[in-house]
């Protein structure tokens, strides 16, 4: 029989027994002309593809497998996949009659195995009381592979994707059914597994022969797949490395696949780290170019939004994080989202970007400015919420990022507080906004005449600790005056308030929902240096990282022990109402601090700053989630100077030193991290900043480890 005749019989016969009729000797002397794609394979009545997704039956849960009918339905899904593979291989033989003989012979050999698998499944299904056609049949395999452009694309989709996934599925269900005592079905799946290893091995062999030698195995594989088919489909409910190694996949491919994520139906949120957005807004021009130091910092930390994302979401990065780094984070319980590379030098995502044309839920940069609006513009048309114009969002939300906007409203947001609570807050003097340098200077002169403490002059747009100067009453030089004049000239105003004797820094984390109400995420205690620059956050609830000396103030300063929480929540509700009126939604944070006033009394300063965007506090809050209540710790942003002061030349050396001082210790089940060190960006690639988390049983232990390593972090 000719291969073409065999392929036509499998593809076009409406008799299932003919499709499963194993041929004798096959020849390929008359491959015939190429046929175009076939809309659907011909099948017997009752085996057509389901036309409605809602009618498709749910795959049985593992907990249901003690029921024979459920096991039969599992095999029904597998049988449908075998039939689809058989028909797709037949179609491929007819679509590519000029393909190399080695490829065509291998397809035929695989088809014989698929026929065997199908027959085994049908027989066992019948014994379990399920007949083929009892469960609606989906066409996903057919939809993805019936129109591939060439044999390489077919190998990538079939051997390296669907058959590779079966290495996991067949192994998982073989072992589950063996445990339940169903050795008959388990033996069938064991035979299928052995054949699938061989199928993937042959596919890998051909793929390596034909792929671009300038690309790695993984890169070539990703290039060969066409959306919506992604590497996520090449994995099952478990992930087995050993069988993939047997199949000839290299270590790099396997490691990258293990941590690869991609949405399988839910529209993803697209996140990008643009921590310099406030500076961009301040410059008021689209051509803003951040300094080299800022560019390096952003590149080091660009993967941080992954901790705020779901596994189905997408993070835009200029360089893919290493598989080893992501694998380590995954083992700790952090979901790994999809990463898409882009060129930060481009003003807009190119048409070649895999996200362009793809349906998404929304875009969520770290902060909205004109540059990121232009960068993400190609994605705006495919958002779930139609009609959103990113540049209009910038115009509406930009004022919220201004410290002047906050300062002008601070007093009114505190009016609704009960009198005892107001007495515990810093209410006077309120922050002042000046649009003329002369008025700001007059304010300083008034501070001198009354002998008050130093003042801090803040630029409306500038991150904490930056974009501000401190001025003592008797120390106001020409440089400070020029800074004030320049800030007002470029940003329109300057904010002035006393420099408080800071005792504790806190951030209240919330999310403004669609209806404008704030959804509380929690408090985060963070660490700043003497200049007010952010250095890190605690990985524990506030109750566990609150100094003993402050507990009386926090819990007993008012009759209600939760007065501080209620005060901040009241302010957050007022802030959220204003944000919602401007259309804002998403993550936000309010910085506050406990200070000591001139009389030495503890007071609450809230709101100190508003961040209408994600913050490092949100990241720290997410980092603490997998730790649960088992451990606590601290997340630090280590700089090059920290590294040098500790006596190490590279971040990797410092991290290894800390890991020796704090060896990894997990719970008895091997899952929860009780002690140890991990990094939030790869120390091998970090140039300016490395995020490092120390997980301990208490903060004293973390403080001791940090001090012993020669690091200077004071809290």
* pLDDT tops 80 at residue 524: yes
The answer to whether 424 touches 563, Cβ cutoff 8 Å, is yes
Going by pLDDT thresholds of 50, 70 and 90, the confidence category of residue 158 is very high
Instruction: Give the Cα separation of 614 and 220 in Å (integer).
Output: 35
**Mean pLDDT of all residues in 549-556:** 96
* pLDDT tops 70 at residue 695: yes
Percent of the chain with pLDDT over 90: 78
Instruction: Give the Cα separation of 265 and 228 in Å (integer).
Output: 10
Number of Cβ within a 10 Å radius of residue 474: 9
Question: Of the ranges 86-100, 338-352, 385-399, 633-647, which one carries the lowest mean pLDDT score?
Answer: 385-399
The answer to whether 661 touches 705, Cβ cutoff 8 Å, is yes
DSSP three-state, residue 435:
coil
Instruction: Give the Cα separation of 368 and 374 in Å (integer).
Output: 10
259-282, pLDDT tens digit by residue? 999 877 789 999 999 999 999 999
* pLDDT tops 80 at residue 285: no
* pLDDT tops 90 at residue 222: yes
Give the per-residue pLDDT at 57: 65
527 versus 262: the higher-pLDDT residue is: 527
Ordered by start, the domain boundaries in the chain are 3-18+65-259, 269-401, 630-708
Give the per-residue pLDDT at 55: 43
Cβ contacts of residue 472 below 8 Å, gap of 6+?
454
Give the per-residue pLDDT at 80: 95
Give the per-residue pLDDT at 424: 95
Terminal alpha carbon distance of the chain: 81
Question: Checking DSSP bridges between strand 338-341 and strand 314-317, what pairing results, if any?
Answer: parallel
* pLDDT tops 70 at residue 463: no
The answer to whether 437 touches 634, Cβ cutoff 8 Å, is no
Instruction: Give the Cα separation of 80 and 74 in Å (integer).
Output: 10
Beta bridge partners of 130: none
Q: What is the CA radius of gyration of the chain?
A: 31
Question: Of the ranges 253-267, 283-297, 673-687, which one carries the lowest mean pLDDT score?
Answer: 283-297
**Mean pLDDT of all residues in 309-328:** 95
Instruction: Give the Cα separation of 139 and 168 in Å (integer).
Output: 21
Give the per-residue pLDDT at 200: 98
Per-residue 3-state assignment (H helix, E strand, C coil) for 450-481: HCCCCEEEECCCCCCCCCEEEEECCECCHHHH
For the entire predicted model, the pTM comes to 0.86
Cβ contacts of residue 115 below 8 Å, gap of 6+?
19, 20, 21, 22, 86
Give the per-residue pLDDT at 386: 57
464-520, pLDDT tens digit by residue? 557 888 887 666 778 888 999 999 999 999 999 988 899 999 999 999 988 888 899
* pLDDT tops 70 at residue 245: yes
628 versus 68: the higher-pLDDT residue is: 68
- For residue 340, give Cα distances in angstroms to 301, 314, 373, 535: 15, 7, 18, 28
**Mean pLDDT of all residues in 383-399:** 82
* pLDDT tops 50 at residue 49: yes
408-453, pLDDT tens digit by residue? 998 887 777 888 899 999 988 889 999 999 998 888 777 766 656 6
190-212, pLDDT tens digit by residue? 999 999 999 999 999 999 999 99
- For residue 710, give Cα distances in angstroms to 171, 458, 704: 49, 33, 10
Question: Of the ranges 146-160, 194-208, 657-671, which one carries the lowest mean pLDDT score?
Answer: 657-671
Give the per-residue pLDDT at 539: 94
**Mean pLDDT of all residues in 215-224:** 96
Instruction: Give the Cα separation of 607 and 630 in Å (integer).
Output: 32
Cβ contacts of residue 247 below 8 Å, gap of 6+?
164, 167, 197, 200, 201, 204
Token pair belonging to 160: 């390296």
φ/ψ of residue 175, rounded to 5: -70, -35
3-18+65-259, CATH topology level: Ferritin (1.20.1260)
The answer to whether 206 touches 102, Cβ cutoff 8 Å, is yes
Give the per-residue pLDDT at 184: 97
Q: At what angle do helices 101-127 and 3-12 cross, to 10 degrees?
A: 40
**Mean pLDDT of all residues in 649-659:** 96
Give the per-residue pLDDT at 417: 86
- Count the residues in the chain: 715
């Amino acid at each position: 029989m000719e291969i073409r005749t065999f392929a036509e019989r499998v593809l076009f016969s409406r008799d299932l027994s003919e499709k499963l009729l194993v041929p004798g000797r096959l020849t390929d002397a008359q491959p015939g002309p190429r046929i175009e794609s076939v809309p659907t394979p011909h099948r017997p009545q009752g085996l057509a593809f389901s036309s409605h997704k809602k009618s498709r039956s749910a795959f049985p849960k593992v907990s249901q497998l003690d029921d024979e009918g459920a096991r039969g339905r599992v095999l029904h899904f597998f049988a449908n996949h075998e039939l689809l593979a058989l028909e797709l291989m037949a179609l491929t033989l007819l679509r590519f009659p000029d393909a190399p003989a080695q490829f065509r012979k291998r397809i035929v050999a695989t088809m014989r195995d698929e026929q065997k698998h199908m027959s085994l499944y049908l027989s066992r299904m019948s014994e379990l009381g399920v007949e083929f056609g009892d469960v609606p049949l989906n066409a996903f395999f057919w939809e993805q592979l019936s129109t591939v452009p060439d044999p390489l694309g077919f190998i990538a989709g079939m051997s390296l994707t669907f058959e590779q996934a079966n290495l996991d599925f067949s192994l998982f269900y073989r072992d589950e059914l063996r445990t339940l005592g169903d050795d008959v079905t388990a033996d069938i799946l064991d035979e299928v597994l052995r054949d699938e290893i061989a199928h993937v091995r042959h596919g890998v062999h051909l793929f390596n022969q034909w792929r671009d030698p300038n690309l790695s195995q993984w890169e070539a594989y990703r290039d060969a797949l066409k959306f919506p088919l992604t590497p996520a489909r090449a994995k099952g409910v478990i992930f087995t490395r050993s069988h993939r190694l047997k199949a000839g996949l290299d270590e790099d491919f396997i490691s990258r696949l293990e941590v690869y994520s991609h949405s399988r139906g839910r529209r993803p949120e697209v996140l990008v780290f643009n921590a310099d957005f406030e500076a961009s807004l301040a410059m008021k021009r689209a051509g803003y170019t951040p300094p080299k130091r800022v560019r390096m910092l952003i590149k080091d930390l660009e993967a941080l939004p992954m901790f705020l994302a779901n596994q189905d979401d997408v993070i835009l990065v200029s360089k893919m994080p290493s598989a080893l780094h992501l694998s380590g984070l995954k083992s700790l319980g952090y979901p790994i989202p999809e990463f898409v590379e882009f060129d930060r030098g481009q003003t807009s995502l190119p048409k070649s970007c895999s996200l362009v044309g793809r349906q998404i839920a929304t875009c969520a940069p770290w902060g909205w400015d004109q540059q990121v609006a232009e960068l993400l513009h190609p994605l705006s048309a495919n958002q779930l919420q139609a009609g959103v114009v990113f540049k209009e969002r910038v115009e509406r939300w930009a004022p919220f990022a201004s410290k002047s906007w906050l300062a002008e409203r601070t007093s009114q947001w505190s009016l609704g507080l009960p009198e005892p609570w107001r007495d515990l807050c810093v209410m006077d003097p309120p922050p002042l906004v000046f649009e003329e340098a002369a008025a700001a200077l007059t304010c300083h002169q008034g501070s001198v005449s009354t002998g008050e403490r130093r003042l801090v002059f803040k630029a409306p747009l500038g991150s904490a600790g930056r974009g501000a100067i401190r001025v003592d009453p008797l120390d106001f030089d020409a440089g400070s005056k020029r800074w004030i004049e320049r800030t007002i000239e470029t940003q329109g105003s300057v904010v002035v308030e006393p420099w408080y004797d800071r005792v504790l820094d806190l951030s209240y984390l919330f999310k403004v929902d669609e209806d404008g109400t704030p959804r509380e995420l929690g408090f985060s205690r963070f660490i700043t240096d003497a200049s007010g620059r952010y250095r890190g956050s605690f990985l524990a609830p506030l109750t566990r990282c609150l100094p003993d000396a402050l507990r009386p103030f926090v819990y007993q300063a008012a009759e209600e022990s939760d007065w501080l929480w209620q005060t901040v929540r009241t302010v957050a509700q007022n802030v959220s109402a204003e944000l919602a009126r401007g259309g804002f939604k998403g993550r936000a944070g309010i910085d506050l601090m406990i200070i000591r006033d001139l009389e030495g009394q503890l007071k609450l300063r809230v709101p100190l700053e508003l961040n209408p965007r994600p913050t490092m506090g949100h990241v720290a809050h997410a980092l603490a989630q997998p730790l649960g209540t088992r451990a606590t710790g601290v997340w630090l942003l280590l700089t090059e100077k920290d590294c040098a002061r500790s006596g190490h030349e590279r971040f990797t050396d410092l991290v290894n030193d800390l890991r020796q001082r704090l060896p990894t210790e997990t719970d008895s089940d091997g899952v929860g991290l009780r002690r140890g060190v991990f990094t939030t960006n790869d120390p091998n690639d970090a140039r300016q900043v490395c995020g490092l988390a120390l997980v301990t049983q208490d903060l004293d232990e973390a403080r001791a480890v940090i001090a012993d390593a020669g690091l200077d972090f004071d809290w």
